Structure 1
Amino acid sequence: MKTEKGITRPAAGALKSGAALLMLALLAACGKQEQAASGQALASVDGKEITIHQLNAELGKGGAREANKQVLDGLVARQVLVNAARKEKLDADPAVLADMERARDLVLAQSYVQRKLAKPTRPSQQEVSTFYDQHPDWFAQRQQYEFAELVIDRASVNEELTKMMVGVRPLEEVAAWLQKQHIPFTRLQVTKTSMDLPPPMLAGVKKMEKGQLFIVNEGDAAILAALADVRNVPLSRAAATQQIEQYLANQRQGEITEQAVARLKADAKIVYFDSAKTLKDNSVAPVADATSPGKDAAAGAAIR
């Protein structure tokens, strides 16, 4: 079960997991490094030294206040993975190289934003207070919704199932029907607040009774969902202040960045080729009413 609480939607440690860890490790290690000066090396992995400069850089990125063995152990683990990746010649794999180039581009773009663009002014207390009052569903009247879900292949949805998913009834009856029809499904329990749901879906959910069933189609999957519970979880003005300040600051930074991009685009020579004309424009995504069973909805992602 997941419960999301911040205004922003998505703290990383020194050691990442899976492919992301390996990619960052390869990116950090690519290129030649100068031999560490005497006294600067903290550890060595198969002859590859880890220096105090690397540790300090990691501290700056990871948010740790002081050097500690755990951060160093993370660097050692990263280097072990880098060495293993190089032995497997992953640093020559075209897909890996493409990901590394993309990561480099992202770092450069982010560095430009951080170093060259103006910093947003801190929101005033009046702005924070106004924002709080204008978003009661996020704060003073915030509610928490629990959804029970059965996820099936979209092709399995038929007229009989669609009729079952109308009105109020136990989702277990639907699960029993699916089992009888030999339709495989995955159970999920999802918790969201009114802060997390897009406005069109929130408007639909507010009208629902507990136990209300509805269907949301998402790609090749169909989510058979039930509103299991609703609770009041208000957030006070004082408790929300820091979140609102960060949200408004991020919003202003986004506006500053958009203005800079527009200015840079005006000075750049940009050509879109014929092959780009077939790309779909998703700048305006359709969102279906959450109370309407069987309709496509961007709301699907919001309740998962």
Structure 2
Amino acid sequence: EVTKLKTVNITSYRMLNMRSHLTRTSSHHLIATLKKGTVLGVALLFISGCSDKSKPATQIIAKVNDDEITVHQLNNAMAKLPLTSADNLDSVRLDLVGKLVNEQLTVQQALLQKLDRSSDVMMQIEASRREILTKAYLKQLISGLPKPNAEDTKKFYDAHPELFAERRIYNLQQIIIASPHPPLAEIQKLTADKTMTDIVAALKQNNIVFSASAATRAAEQIPLTTLAVLPSLKDGEIRIIASPKSISIVKVEASQLAALSEASAMQRIPQYLMNERAKIAINDKINLLKNTSKITYMNEFSGASKQVSSLPAPATKATDTSKSVERGIAGIN
């Protein structure tokens, strides 16, 4: 047993000497290699400096007292900014982190002063919550709508040459007489054979309320009822145009052709048609919810139930499109 113990001790001693030798050799070799300035030496130094206790990166990008600011908050703030070039991305991110820190500092102070319990702040928080939830629901509602196909797009293009193939830019003078207004026949008699200046004077003399404007407008910025008449007017000609809500007196000072190519129109029309489908889907859903829910108007609003009980019935595609075009088909441009 003594012999065995000696053998073990000798073996252990030799192993320790060998380990020490290897360590010294490795250290000398590493130092020599580093002195030569090789890339391998730098890599070895980096590896030897790594600790087994290193922690994985977290989502936290800053701490403000006991509160944490996460990379998700930064990404959310970045998403609200316009497109940023790669050249200044780092500076933009750093600036946003600074703003998030400042914001968190002020939030902490507001909470310390219990401002979150004030009635005004609570109402604003609730209003924001309602708006966020409403947008989220409507976004989900329209996400499943079918997208317009090529046939839908071409049909809309062919139905509205005044907006595309025959599109014009108009220099207009316009007088609008909103409802309630005198009968159309009376307005026609009052304005017959007069210049726009004389018409303004006659309207004032008869105490007729109106608004006047002069502007250069593209076809898509003009109500459809007016736009349908303009191509037939010569420069300098005046025309009275009646619509359900107003009477317009329009003079075309000048106009020029500014056609929109079919290829360009085909790129813009689908988004417009998609917006219109979304409006119809939302109206349908809100009307359905109202018809299947118990809604009671109270106090001074008790008599308003018939007036606001439902949204207007969704129009057919043609009618709905016309209404949107009258608003200037903002979705296209």
TM-score, scaled to structure 1: 0.52
| Partner Cα distance (2:192, 2:98) in 1 | 54
Is 1:236 matched with 2:261?
yes
Alignment match of 1:57 (pick from 76, 83, 88): 76
Deviation at 1:163, TM superposition (A): 7.7
Kindly tell me the number of residue pairs found equivalent between the two proteins.
236
Q: Tell me the percent identity.
A: 22
The aligned counterpart of 1:15 is: none
The structure whose RCO (Cα within 8 Å, separation 6+) is larger is 1
Q: Could you tell me which amino acid in structure 2 is paired with residue 109 of structure 1? A: T
Query: Based on CA coordinates, which of the two structures has the bigger radius of gyration?
Result: 2
Q: Which runs of 5+ in 1 are unaligned?
A: 1-35, 155-160, 179-184, 285-299
Is 1:275 matched with 2:294?
no
**Structure richer in helix, relative to its length:** 2
Alignment match of 1:246 (pick from 271, 276, 296): 271
Deviation at 1:49, TM superposition (A): 8.7
Alpha carbons 1:117, 1:256 under 8 Å: kept = yes
Deviation at 1:242, TM superposition (A): 1.6
Alpha carbons 1:143, 1:233 under 8 Å: kept = yes
Alignment match of 2:145 (pick from 92, 110, 120): 120
Alignment match of 2:159 (pick from 129, 134, 137): 134
Go from structure 1 to structure 2 and tell me whether the alpha carbon gap of 1:231 and 1:102 turns closer, same or farther (over 3 Å shift): farther
| Partner Cα distance (1:233, 1:204) in 2 | 17
Q: Which runs of 5+ in 2 are unaligned?
A: 1-57, 180-186, 204-209, 314-325, 329-333
The superposition leaves residues 153-172 of structure 1 with CA deviations (integer Å, 9 ceiling, x where unpaired) of x9xxxxxx998855463x56
Q: Could you tell me which amino acid in structure 2 is paired with residue 134 of structure 1? A: A
Go from structure 1 to structure 2 and tell me whether the alpha carbon gap of 1:93 and 1:227 turns closer, same or farther (over 3 Å shift): farther
The aligned counterpart of 1:192 is: 217
TM-score, scaled to structure 2: 0.48
Moved more, 274-283 or 240-249: 274-283
Go from structure 1 to structure 2 and tell me whether the alpha carbon gap of 1:132 and 1:193 turns closer, same or farther (over 3 Å shift): same
The aligned counterpart of 2:282 is: 257
The aligned counterpart of 1:201 is: 226
The superposition leaves residues 102-151 of structure 1 with CA deviations (integer Å, 9 ceiling, x where unpaired) of 44323211101223554223322222222211221221111222224689
1:1-304 correspondence to structure 2 within 5 Å: 39-40=61-62, 52-62=71-81, 64=83, 67=89, 69=91, 72=95, 76=99, 94=120, 101-115=126-140, 118-148=143-173, 166-167=192-193, 169=195, 171=196, 188-211=213-236, 212=238, 226-266=251-291, 268-273=292-297, 274-277=302-305, 279=307, 283=312
